[in-house]
Amino acid sequence: MARVGPKLNQSNTLLMISSIYTSLTKAEKKVADFVKSNPEESVLATVTDLSEQAGVGETSVIRFCRKLGFRGFHEFKLSVAQDLVDRPPSLSNMEIEEEDDVFTVARKVTMKHEMLIKNTLDLVNVESLTSAVDKMLAAKRIFVYGVGSSGITALDLHYRLMRLGMSVEVQRDSHIIAMSAALVGKGDLVFGISTSGSTRDLVDPVRQAKLNGAVVICLTSHLRSPIAAHADTVLLVPSKELPMEGGALSTKFTQIHILNILTTLISMKKDTADQSLEKTARSVADKLY
């Protein structure tokens, strides 16, 4: 699997912790929890300190750092220190309370969304984005797959690409996804969307597509997930770390956000994009009053 990120570039380590959280073991999760709630102290602590505070063995701390892609504890601390530089003002009081009035709820949701898209930007990997754009422009055929909520995101991506004049197919039915993936080959590109990254209905077809020689891009919130393991390029969005919210569907928000970045980049590189947008817009003009 591709390394998470060496270091010293602007990638938010604390967010990264969330994105691999589910793939951590119990002891490692303890470490993650402590670091996330006490980043300042973690930076100053030694391996022994941290292991004691988290209630695990030193070895688990080291393993935790390695899983994040660092060479060791030292690199990890440096990176966290960098995250602390301009830490967003505490997000306390953002929790929605039972007795909040309508406008307060609206404001809190807005603030959460604002934070979410900033976090998305922090997590954005320029190389991944660039490579995704290039691969998509180079692909002979593009297939977008997703089920459930991610299936709706898939429709959105399809719509955007179609408007830009690209020939794309979208599938949301797990059986059809499987069949479709069985038929792809060299020169094709599969774009798999799965928040968890562990959805069988996505993972298996994506693996198959990869074996068939297709290029694979995936959009997920979990970097160390099965789907990411099979992907050539991974687009990572923050995983919901915001508890309690109606539908807990904030991931959709960040997905749309990064897809908008992606399609904006594509439209910049594709010279016929503007015309396509215009043509498609005109095509529905007479459907209006």
Partner DNA sequence: CCGCTAATCGGAGAAATACTCCATGTTCAA
Partner DNA sequence: TTGAACATGGAGTATTTCTCCGATTAGCGG
Nearer to DNA (CB atom), residue 32 or residue 170: 32
Nearer to DNA (CB atom), residue 186 or residue 282: 282
Angstrom CA distances, 124 to 1, 214, 235, 259, stand at 18, 24, 8, 12
Nearer to a copy of itself (CB atom), residue 183 or residue 248: 248
Least distance in angstroms from the C-beta of 210 to a copy of itself: 16
How many whole angstroms separate alpha carbon 73 and alpha carbon 128?
26
Q: Tell me which residues touch DNA (CB under 7 A).
A: 25-28, 46-48, 55-60, 62-63, 65, 71-74, 77
Residues paired with 142 in a beta bridge: 168, 189
Least distance in angstroms from the C-beta of 45 to DNA: 7
**Which does residue 178 touch among a copy of itself, DNA, none (CB within 5 to 8 A, set by kind)?**
none
Contacting residues for 269 by C-beta, under 8 A, at least 6 apart: 133, 137
How many whole angstroms separate alpha carbon 219 and alpha carbon 57?
34
Instruction: Please give the structure tokens belonging to residue 229.
Output: 């393991």
**Which does residue 165 touch among a copy of itself, DNA, none (CB within 5 to 8 A, set by kind)?**
none
How many whole angstroms separate alpha carbon 62 and alpha carbon 239?
24
Note whether 262 and 235 are within 8 A (CB): yes
**Which does residue 121 touch among a copy of itself, DNA, none (CB within 5 to 8 A, set by kind)?**
a copy of itself
**Which does residue 114 touch among a copy of itself, DNA, none (CB within 5 to 8 A, set by kind)?**
a copy of itself
Least distance in angstroms from the C-beta of 185 to a copy of itself: 25
How many whole angstroms separate alpha carbon 144 and alpha carbon 172?
9
Least distance in angstroms from the C-beta of 170 to DNA: 33
